[in-house]
Amino acid sequence: MDYPLLLGIFPQVLLDGIILGFMYALIALGYTMVYGVLEFINFAHSEIFIVGAFVGVEILLSLRSAGVLDTLPWPLVLLFVLVAGMAISGALAVTVERIAYRPLRTAPRLIPLISAIGVSFFLQDLIRLVESIWRNAFNLVYPTMDQLNYRFELTETIDVPVKSLVVIAAALAMLWVLHVIVNRTTIGTAIRAVAEDQAAASLMGIDVNRIISLTFLIGGAMGGAAGVLFGVQYGLINPYSGFIPGLKAFTAAVLGGIGNIPGAMLGGLVLGLLEAFAASYLSLLTAGAFGAEYKDIFAFSILILILIFRPKGLLGEVVRGRA
């Protein structure tokens, strides 16, 4: 076995895993917040996530065709794109809730779930339709900003591109903001109150519908930001790109303990790291017998093991607790 090689790539794999993990964590927040408040899984969240990526690519492409992409300072462009992605994904999440979930709120648990799956398919093909008319394209390429691709070479095999640092920084910043909103503000208190008991919260003068909309807005905005970061990091998106990351993020939310915000983060990181290590090391450790294609099988086997011993997730399910 080639030990220097195995050790040599370790930091790079760790970094890859952390980036993927934060991506999953940001998406997982959307699932977990909605679940915390409504005990309902919003399966359309994977499309709300990818809409953020499409908003980002459309803005960047327009800036490029206007010829100003390379002259504007890149942190400003990125910030603007992030905010726009968050705004539109957030608004979309609120709209979806208003149209497809609110009328079904008193219906049996499975009904809004089916509605969510329907919305997911609808949005996928809507994006496909719009993009095929508007750009006549299926795959859209994120325009590269050279500064974002700059790499700090640490050693022969390890380097850290600026964009990966941006992804991590943005993810951490957003998680912190979310933490503050939920735990330190009146709005956060209201969200937690609605999560605990809708009827009692409304008796205390909280507008429950507004708070639920707000929860979707925040979750959707996080998803939109994740979408932009996903596009920046991996460079290529299509209308179906959201599905698999969405599914993984949902798994991450369950792994961390659905309904639990720090749990979503932890679950995302664990899943991202498991996947990265499986994909990079499986083939090296088994001399090619199991390749990177087994990464999901490996990662999900570990997940099953964890959930057998901790059925409520790593940090425990916080139903009726914090949002």
Partner 1 sequence: MIRNPVHLTLALLAVLGLVALPAASNLEAQGSKGTIKIATQSPLSGGQAALGEGIKLGAQLAVEKFKGNLEKMGYKVALVPYDDQAKPDVGVANAKNIIADKDILAVIGHLNSGVAIPSSEVYKEVSLVMISPANTNPVVTDRGYLNVNRVCGRDDVQGVVGSEFAHATMKAKSVYVIHDKTQYGQGVAEFFKTDAEKKGIKVLGFEGTEEKSNFDPIITPIKAKNPDVIYFGGIYDQAAPFFKQAREKGVRSKFLGPDGMDSSDLTKIAGKAVVGMDYTSAAGPASVLPKAKAFVEEFKKKFGKNPEPYAAEAYDAATVALKAVDAAVKGGKVSREDVATAVRKTKHSGITGDIEFDSKGDRKKALYFVLQVVSDDPAKWGDNKIVKQLTISPPEKK
Q: Does 237 bind partner 1 (CB under 8 A)?
A: yes
Q: Could you give the string, one character per residue 189-228, with x where binding to partner 1 holds by CB under 8 A and - elsewhere?
A: ----------------------------------------
One of 110, 134, 153, 203 touching partner 1 (CB under 8 A): 153
In contact, 282 and 233? CB cutoff 8 Å:
no
Going by C-alpha positions, the residue among 260, 255, 290 that lies closest to residue 273 is 255
Phi/psi class of residue 66: alpha, beta or left (left: φ > 0; alpha: ψ in -120 to 50)? alpha
Compute the CA torsion angle 218, 224, 225, 227 (nearest 10 deg). Answer: 150
The enclosing H or E element of 174 equals helix 162-184
What is the number of other CB atoms lying within 10 angstroms of the CB of residue 135? 12
How near is the Cβ of 240 to partner 1 at its closest, in Å? 9
- Token output for 257: 């303990």
One of 68, 118, 151, 247 touching partner 1 (CB under 8 A): 151
How near is the Cβ of 144 to partner 1 at its closest, in Å? 8
Greatest Cα pair distance, the chain, in angstroms, is 67
Q: Quick one: 13 or 81, whose CB is closer to partner 1?
A: 13
How near is the Cβ of 321 to partner 1 at its closest, in Å? 33
Q: Does 12 bind partner 1 (CB under 8 A)?
A: yes
Q: Which amino acid is at 315?
A: L
Residues in contact with partner 1 by CB under 8 A are 5, 8-9, 12-13, 16-17, 19-20, 128, 132, 138-139, 141, 144, 149, 151, 153, 157, 159, 161, 230, 233-238, 241, 275-281, 283-284, 288, 291-293, 295
